Amino acid sequence: MSTRNALLIVASVLTVASAVAVAAEGPNLGRVATPEEIALWDISIGPEGASLPAGSGTPKQGEAVYTAKCLACHGENGAGKPNDQLGTLPGDKPPVKTVGSFWPYATTIFDYVRRAMPYNESKTLTNDELYAVTAYLLQLNGIIGEKDMIDAKTLPKVRMPNRDGFVTFTRGK
C-alpha cells in the first residue's frame, strides 16, 4: 500500500470516528421526551384490543356525548353532513363505506375516535366518554343492543359485519 493510500484510509477512519462522536452527542437541540410525554402519544390499540384502558359506557350514555360533541359535524343519528356519515342507512346505493358497513374491527372505532375526534378538539374525551360514544356508534349501526355495556373486555368481542370482507394481499408468489 502506498503512503498516500494509507493516509487516505487513516483520514476516512478519522472522519467516521468524528461522525460517530457527533451522533452520540446529538445535535444539541431540545431534550429527551419524558415517559409521561411519550405515553400521551403511545395510544395505539390493535385489533385485539390489548391496550384498551379502564372505563366503560353504554349506547345511551354515548348518545349524550354524541349530541354534545359529534352531532354538529356528523348529523342526527350519524346520517352525515357536513362531515362523514357514521351510521348505515338502509337503501344507501351504492352502500356508503363507513364505520358499521366497512370497518373490520370495533376496537378501531375507539382507537380512531380517541386519537382524531372531535376533529376540532381531538384527545379531549375521557375513556368513559370514548367507550360510550363507541357503544352508541355500534348501536346506531345495529351491531350491539341498546343495553350492551362496552369496556376493554366486551369491545374486542364485538364482531363487525365486514370482518371477512377484506382480501388478504400477498406480494409476489
Spatial separation of the C-alpha atoms in residues 125 and 72, rounded to whole Å = 16
Between 99 and 152, whose beta carbon lies closer to ligand HEC?
99
Between 84 and 151, whose beta carbon lies closer to ligand HEC?
84
Spatial separation of the C-alpha atoms in residues 133 and 154, rounded to whole Å = 14
Q: State yes or no: residue 45 binds ligand HEC (CB under 6 A).
A: no
Q: State yes or no: residue 67 binds ligand HEC (CB under 6 A).
A: no
Query: Segment near ligand HEC (CB under 6 A), from 11-19, 51-59, 116-124, 149-157?
Result: 116-124
Q: Which of 47, 58, 67, 40 is nearest to 122 (CA)?
A: 40
Sites for ligand HEC among residues 131-170 (CB under 6 A): 133
Strand boundaries in the chain, DSSP class E = 56-57, 150-151
Q: State yes or no: residue 72 binds ligand HEC (CB under 6 A).
A: yes
Q: Are 162 and 104 in contact (CB under 8 A)?
A: yes
Number of Cβ atoms within 10 Å of the Cβ of 147? 9
Residue 27, C-beta contacts closer than 8 angstroms, at least 6 positions apart: none
Smallest distance from ligand HEC to CB 38, Å: 24
User: Which of 45, 70, 144, 160 is in the footprint of ligand HEC by CB under 6 A?
Assistant: 70
Q: Which of 86, 85, 87, 101 is nearest to 163 (CA)?
A: 101
Residue with cell 380512531: 112
Q: State yes or no: residue 118 binds ligand HEC (CB under 6 A).
A: yes
Query: Segment near ligand HEC (CB under 6 A), from 3-11, 42-50, 71-79, 87-95?
Result: 71-79
Between 7 and 72, whose beta carbon lies closer to ligand HEC?
72
Q: What is the binding site for ligand HEC (CB under 6 A)?
A: 69-70, 72-74, 83-84, 86, 98-99, 109, 112-113, 117-120, 125, 133
